[in-house]
Amino acid sequence: MKKSALSRRKAFTLIELLIGIGIIGFLSGIVIIAINPKKQLEESLDATAAHHAKEIESAMYQHTIDKWILASADQIPEGKENAKTICSEGYSDPSCVTLSPPLPPDYVVRIPQDTRYTPPDSGFRIYKHAERPRVLAAGSPVGTEDVGDSCSSTTPTDYVACWSFDETAAPYLDSSDNGIAVTCIADECPTSVAGRIGKAVDFDGVNDYMHIDSSLASLLPQSYTFSAWFKTPGDGSLIGADDPIFSDGLQSLEIWVENGVLRISQPWTYGTTAVHDDAWHHVAFIFDDGNDRTRVFIDGTEEMELNVLYAQKVKSTDRYYLGAAVSTEEAKVESFLSGILDEVRVYNRVLSSTEIAELMNGG
C-alpha cells in the first residue's frame, strides 16, 4: 500500500529546526523584557530621582534669589567634576553638604532620599557654577550624571541654554552651566502640565507669559538658533525679543502662530503648515548673519527662508520672552499664547538641517 507524504516524513529538516529555535528564542526575549520587574523598578526610581533633583535645585535657586546668598555656600564645591553628596534629612556629616537647615522648610519641606542609598548619603550631588547651585541625581549607585534630563540626552548638546520645564513651578532652570533662569510673576505664570518629554508649561492665552534672564543676550553672537516643542489649538506668541533701547518700535524677533500657521518678524512672513491642531510640533529658527539669511523649520522641514533684517540682530539690551509679545516702548504685552511649550533650546551657532532633524527625532 502506498504511504502518504505525511506518514513518509520522519523528521524536521535542519533548516526547519534552526528557524523554530530562532522563533522560540525571539519570543522568549520579548517575554523576559515585558515581565522584567527589576528594569521597570529602576526606570521608575530614576525618574523619581530626576524629579527630586530638580526640586532641590529649584528650591536652592529661589532661596538664593530671595536672600541674596547661596545656602551652605562654603560647603558646596565649584564645578561638576567636584560635585559633593547632599546629606540625608536630619544628618550633619563632614562627608556631605548639609542643606536642611540652613534651607528653610518653606523652600523644601525635607531633603528627598533615594532609597538606593544609605544615610547620610541622600543619593543626590551638588556643585555650584558662577555661584549658582546645580543638583545631580545619581540615578544608580554608579555614576553621578543627571538622569532623565532631555537637555543632556538629546543631541546636539552644545547649547547656551536649555529649559526642560520639569520643575512644578517657576523659576525654571537652565540645564547648561550658564545659569539662565526663566521666571514669571504670580498670576502671570503658566501651569505645569505633562509635556512632550517630562513636564511642560501651559499658557492660558489670557495673561500668562515668562521672562528669560537678560544675560541670554550677552551670550549670543549674531548667528544663533532657537528651537522648541509646542502644541496649540489657537494662536499666540511662542518666543519674542524686545529691545527697550531700540526706539523704532520694531521687535528684534518674534515667532508666533496666527491664523493656524507660523509667522515671524521682521519682515512679517507666514508659513504654510497648519500647526493649530493641538498636536506637538517642533520649530527651529535660524538667524544666519554670515549669509544674511533667516530660516525656519517645522517638524524638521524647512518652512521659510528670507533675508536678514537689522531688527533680528542680537543687541546686548535685548530682553527675551516666552508665551507673549512684549513691547517696552509701547508698554504693552500682547499675542498671549494659548498652548504648551516644552524643551526650549538656544544655540550660539547655526545648526545644520541634519542637527535640527536630530533634535526633533531625539525629543
**More reliable by pLDDT, 311 or 194:** 194
Q: How many C-beta atoms lie closer than 10 Å to residue 14's C-beta? A: 8
Q: What is the mean pLDDT of residues 247-264?
A: 72
Q: Write out pLDDT tens, residues 329-351.
A: 566 788 899 999 999 999 989 99
> pLDDT tens across 65-120, in order?
777 777 788 888 887 778 899 999 989 888 899 987 777 777 788 899 988 888 99
**Ordered domains of the chain (ranges, CATH):** 38-148 (no CATH), 152-362 (2.60.120.200)
Residue-level pLDDT at 29: 54
What is the enclosing helix (H) or strand (E) of 280?
Answer: none
Taking 3-state DSSP, the helix, strand and coil percentages for the chain, each rounded to the nearest 5, stand at 25, 30, 45
Helix, strand or coil for residue 71? coil
**pLDDT exceeds cutoff 80 at 26:** no
Give the 3-state secondary structure of 321-344. Answer: EECCEEECCCCEEECCCEEEEEEE
Q: Is 195 a residue whose pLDDT tops 60?
A: yes
Give the residue, 349 or 214, on which the prediction is more confident: 349
Contact 353, 302 (CB under 8 A): yes
Q: Are 127 and 121 in contact (CB under 8 A)?
A: no
pTM of the model: 0.63
On whether the CB atoms of residues 345 and 242 are closer than 8 A, the answer is no
